[in-house]
Amino acid sequence: MAAPPRHASMRMPYTEDGSDEVVCAATTATPAKTHVRRQLIETASTNAKDIMEALFDAYVLDVASIVCACALGAQPGEKVLDMCSAPGGKALALATDMFPWQRWVETDVANDTAAASDDDDDVSSSPRGSVAHESDVVDDELGPAAPLAVKQPFTSESHLTCSEASAERRQRLARTLREHLPSRLFQWRNIRVANDVTDGAEWAHKAPSIFHRVLLDAPCTSERHLVRQAASRGGGGGGLMHVDWSVARCRRDAERQVKLLMAALRAVRVGGVVVYATCSISPAENDAVVRKVLMRCATDGEVEVCEDAGLGAAGTLDKDLPEVATREQVCAWMASRCEMTPCGGRIALPDRCDGFGPLFWCRLLKIKPIVEQRS
């Protein structure tokens, strides 16, 4: 836990030389930001000029963030909510699942109905759950996406809503998305950064039963970060300080996490999946949170834990993660090294995962509408 966290580089598929590979060789130090901006060529139709824009071709993150997105299993055509989305690595991974590269190289446009016709700004007011207008996407120093006078290259019902309560983190999130994703995803309202001023729990009321899938990577005590922080303060030694960690703080975080998870379950459709995740190793913030939510939903059997971890077939335990791997290989490798928790979730620890993590996640299936919150 005290060792420097290990990072990987997730390549993005939207540039000329783009791919969906993950460069895992990286080192324990955070790699320098040396990724060059390459040109994205989108052919919207045979009558329109090619559009070129500069995008970063990779994003540096912990492999655990990729695993969170893979466990959700987002697909093209779905409406997905990423709660507590900043700084943006998970959202980028979700976007590559929902908006695959092949959709961006099609040259034949069968119809002109790609642009959304809804005038509703709020996702909860639209029967299709469409995202809000371009003005609702957070505008940072990069500015809003430039209007495009061409057709959208495909008709897509895919919508990704990224929610973040902190204004500062929300600006960083918006900047990250614009630096790595095609501007048309914002121009055509496929991606929205929600201007939330709450802690995220309001999604239960703003968008009830709208989304096919919800990812909640909940704020937590993040013990590894605290250990590193304490070590840096103490000149390499130290341990946790009371001001950094306490049982009371764990309990406060757990109470907030229960509220957020209940909101996520209300926002997802019947038959939809919620992935609850933290980077904590505390059972109070992991299994205990899931158990409390299941108890609140126990009367009518509204929610159940999915037995599947959502990562596909596990790889061989003694096999090292390749220096350059596909996301499927990363997930298979992580599946072989994570452990099942008593509530049916999974936990991946740095000592078993070559320095990546920690990560706890649990997949929940909504069986019936949640009528009321029970204590």
Per the CB < 8 A criterion, the answer to whether 138 and 173 are in contact is yes
Tell me how far apart the alpha carbons of residues 98 and 114 are, in angstroms, rounded to a whole number.
Answer: 16
Most confident range, picked from 62-76, 126-140, 304-318: 62-76
Give strand pairing partners of 111: none
Tell me how far apart the alpha carbons of residues 324 and 22 are, in angstroms, rounded to a whole number.
Answer: 6
Domain ranges of the chain: 61-313+339-366
For 276, the token pair is 């609850």
**How is domain 61-313+339-366 classified at the architecture level of CATH?**
3-Layer(aba) Sandwich (3.40)
Per-residue pLDDT band for 2 (boundaries 50, 70, 90) equals low
Q: Is 68 annotated as a binding residue?
A: no
Residue in this structure with the two tokens 């999974």, named with its chain if needed: 346
Per the CB < 8 A criterion, the answer to whether 323 and 22 are in contact is no
Catalytically annotated residue among 220, 279, 338, 362: 279
Q: Is 62 annotated as a binding residue?
A: no
Q: For 324-373, how does the pLDDT look when each residue is reduced to its tens digit (9 = 90+)?
A: 888 888 888 888 899 999 999 999 998 888 888 899 999 999 999 987 55
Q: For 94-146, how does the pLDDT look when each residue is reduced to its tens digit (9 = 90+)?
A: 999 999 875 444 323 333 333 333 333 333 333 223 333 333 444 333 344 43
Told to judge if 279 belongs to the known catalytic residues of this protein, a careful annotator would answer yes
Note the pLDDT of residue 203. 79
Q: Is 235 annotated as a binding residue?
A: no
Evaluate if pTM is beyond 0.75: yes
Tell me how far apart the alpha carbons of residues 348 and 247 are, in angstroms, rounded to a whole number.
Answer: 23
Q: Is 90 annotated as a binding residue?
A: yes
Tell me how far apart the alpha carbons of residues 289 and 291 are, in angstroms, rounded to a whole number.
Answer: 5
Q: Is 306 annotated as a binding residue?
A: no
Higher-scoring residue by pLDDT: 187, 290: 290
User: Does pLDDT of 314 surpass 90?
Assistant: no
Tell me how far apart the alpha carbons of residues 1 and 3 are, in angstroms, rounded to a whole number.
Answer: 6
Tell me how far apart the alpha carbons of residues 191 and 79 are, in angstroms, rounded to a whole number.
Answer: 10
Tell me how far apart the alpha carbons of residues 16 and 317 are, in angstroms, rounded to a whole number.
Answer: 35
Range scoring the smallest mean pLDDT among 170-184, 311-325, 337-351 = 311-325
Give strand pairing partners of 160: 80, 191
